Structure 1
Amino acid sequence: MLLRLLRACYVVLLLGMSFWAFSYFYYAEHPNLLNATLAVAIIIGLGGTVFASDLIEKEKQITTISAVAFGLLMGLLLGYLFGLALDPLLSSWFPQRAESLISIQQIARMVVTIICCYISISTLLQTKDEFRFIIPYVEFSKQVKGGRPFVLDTSVVIDGRIADICETRIIDSKLILPRFVLQELQAIADSSDKMKRNRGRRGLDILKKLQNNPKLEVEMNDGDIPGEPDQGEKIRVDERLVLFAKSINGRVVTNDFNLNKIAQIQGVDVINLNEVANALKSVALPGEALQVRIVKAGDQIGQGVGYLDDGTMVVVEQGRNAIGQEVMITVTSALQTPAGRMIFGKIERPSGNPSSLNIDIGKMTELK
């Protein structure tokens, strides 16, 4: 809004200066229509060129008082210096009368000052986040809204839990999706493999859901990295993601165990959603009783595998014979890893008859 107001004021000043220049030459003691038209053409042409070049640049940012004040001071200073430099030239171009020369000098200084102020303020308004106002012993650096930004990985977008977490309003920082991550997601969605294609399309749907969330600030970033190798040198997406997060002082959000380790080696903070989910799961202590349905055989002889409602894997000793049944187990140990949590247990057997797990004694009595 402030940039629009600046543009409107600039246009009004240009029109005013053009009318003033036209009136000066046309209604003078010796009217000169050619000089009047030429003065208006120069003012409109020069000012319009500067205005059009500013419109071509589409990247605009919110203004700040410091940028406006500093740009205005710089513009006034440059306008004054350029005005002094124009005086000798104007004196040689218009040697007729002293009064005319003074008026022409005033018009030229005002036009140059307006252009310098506009260029200075517009440039600082659009680059204030990258520009640092350095004063001896004082430095005004970029202010970041909320905490450090989160840089999303392809795996965490496809996983989808990040959208559910954002719905809880726990995350108040900006979410950044680099362009190369989006390209990798699109490549997965266009894969010839049906499973990969479905995962890629799910990721695009999750991304759209994040963008439509009014509680979030999602930014698509080009992912430019200072000192990035030439196009001839290929960088893996994981390595590029870590370098990008490091360059913007962000935090990587991922489900990839290997990316987690790479980022930690590089000194980049990582948020692993699997670790977050494990931290929120209820802890199963040794000796507790759990009811689980055994669905398949385990890797070891006699083992059965089941899953809790939250997806936690439960490995049951001597549970292979109970596949397809709901059984009560006693927890013997629990193992927590970045890839998930595993619970180990053994089947509870009635005391005095260890072999009565799958046999209903009442039914045996009826049969007898």
Structure 2
Amino acid sequence: MIQIVLRGLFVLMTAMVAGMYALRSFSDSAQKLLLSIGSAMLIAGLIVLADIFTPRKRLSSLSGAFFGLLVGMLAAYSLSFIIDYISTLFPVRSELMEGAKVFTGVVCVFAAISMILQTKDDFRFVIPYVEFAKQIRGNRPMLLDTSAIIDGRILDIGQTQIIQGLLIVPRFVLNEMQTIADSADKLKRARGRRGLDIVAKLQANPTLDISIEDAEAEGATVDQKLVSLAQDLHARIITTDFNLTKVAELRGVDVININTLAEAMRPVVLPGELLSVRVVKPGESPGQGVGYLEDGTMVVVENARPHIGHDIALTVTSSLQTAAGRMIFGKLASDNDPKQG
């Protein structure tokens, strides 16, 4: 509402200012007076339309354009002296010289603005402590990837109240989940709907600060857009996608991989500790039995094949960290050893 009133006042003030000056210049011609007011309102209307169709403006771009304008005007002012000196050496009509100054000013302003907008990220190397980027204070925002939302564990993590920063779900991520939810494949459709349900539950959590980001980002794929948006917002990415994690790290974006987080949260077991596990299948070596802890950690137990389908007690002998996760090796405790009668 405030924006509508502001735009209306802008058009009205433009018409009033144009009318005041036109009244002094064309007081004897009502047609020229109305033409001046109409032209001013048309220009104001075009400016308002440009403002409406660019709702997402970046402060860094605006500040860069303003700084480029100042630099361009300063360069044009300096070059005007050279043009005046040339006019004393080679007599030229004054109208032509004025036109040359205006043309030089336009070229200088355009070149300065274009150069600064294209190099604003590196501008601090030219002038130390000058940077066209917003400073992030407090907790950095976190962008949710499609894979992290559909995975669902982000909902459980949020309920622990460990997340303090702003969670951002980009609009293009929502669109991707909507596309998956509309898929003809039953499994994909279920995954897409699950992702949309997870977003709704995250929004309903009173302890989480979550928002939908409508800004577009550069990139042909959702992953590329996500990395670009994270760079623009100085945000971190939450994902379960291994490839996205690697690409983001190569581009200097911090990533929180839920799988890595889950791996880090698994309890540490030491040799000699007692564990209880259900043997579910035989191992690769003769006599071995394989079971799994509640967190999914594989446990390989020597001489446990006769106990498949039963809970056993075991003593940890060693553990091994692999690319697929951690494996625990153990042997039967004395009360489960078939040799103990």
Instruction: Give the structure-2-normalised TM-score.
Output: 0.64
Partner of 2:37: 40
Contact 2:249 2:255 in 1 (8 A): yes
| Seq. identity, % | 40
Query: Residues 284 and 144 (structure 1 numbering): CA distance in 2 closer, same or farther, change over 3 Å?
Result: same
Alignment of 1:20-31 (within 5 A): 20-21=20-21, 23-24=23-24, 31=28
Which residue of the other structure, out of 302, 306, 317, is the alignment partner of 2:302?
317
| Counterpart-to-counterpart distance in 1, 2:248 and 2:57 | 32
Which residue of the other structure, out of 181, 185, 189, is the alignment partner of 1:189?
181
Partner of 2:17: 17
Larger radius of gyration: 1
Indicate the SS of the match to 1:283.
coil
* Deviation for aligned residue 1:44: 1.8
Contact 1:132 1:142 in 2 (8 A): yes
Partner of 2:275: 290
| Counterpart-to-counterpart distance in 2, 1:266 and 1:61 | 21
Could you list the per-position Cα deviations for residues 142-198 of structure 1 after superposition, in whole angstroms to 9, with x for gaps in the alignment? Answer: 02425766554443232122333345343526646483x656544543444433432
Which residue type is aligned with residue 141 of structure 1?
F
Indicate the SS of the match to 1:58.
coil
| Counterpart-to-counterpart distance in 1, 2:35 and 2:225 | 56
Query: Residues 25 and 155 (structure 1 numbering): CA distance in 2 closer, same or farther, change over 3 Å?
Result: closer
Partner of 2:81: none
| Counterpart-to-counterpart distance in 2, 1:48 and 1:207 | 39
Partner of 2:53: 56
Q: Work out the number of aligned pairs and report it.
A: 302
Which residue type is aligned with residue 302 of structure 2?
E
Structure 1 position 328 matched with structure 2 position 325: no
Say which is worse superposed, 212-221 or 11-20, in terms of deviation: 212-221
| Counterpart-to-counterpart distance in 2, 1:269 and 1:219 | 19
Which residue type is aligned with residue 324 of structure 1?
G
Partner of 2:147: 155
Indicate the SS of the match to 2:331.
strand
Say which is worse superposed, 4-13 or 290-299, in terms of deviation: 4-13
| Counterpart-to-counterpart distance in 2, 1:19 and 1:172 | 52
* Deviation for aligned residue 1:76: 10
* Deviation for aligned residue 1:200: 2.8
| Counterpart-to-counterpart distance in 2, 1:256 and 1:65 | 35
Structure 1 position 281 matched with structure 2 position 266: yes
Could you list the per-position Cα deviations for residues 27-60 of structure 1 after superposition, in whole angstroms to 9, with x for gaps in the alignment? Answer: x5xx543333223222222322322332232324
Partner of 1:141: 132
Partner of 1:172: 165
Alignment of 1:1-16 (within 5 A): 7=7, 10-16=10-16
| Counterpart-to-counterpart distance in 2, 1:283 and 1:164 | 22
Indicate the SS of the match to 1:354.
helix
Contact 1:328 1:347 in 2 (8 A): yes
* Deviation for aligned residue 1:311: 3.1
| Counterpart-to-counterpart distance in 1, 2:275 and 2:64 | 63
Which residue type is aligned with residue 332 of structure 1?
T
| Counterpart-to-counterpart distance in 2, 1:198 and 1:12 | 54
Q: CA RMSD in A?
A: 5.0
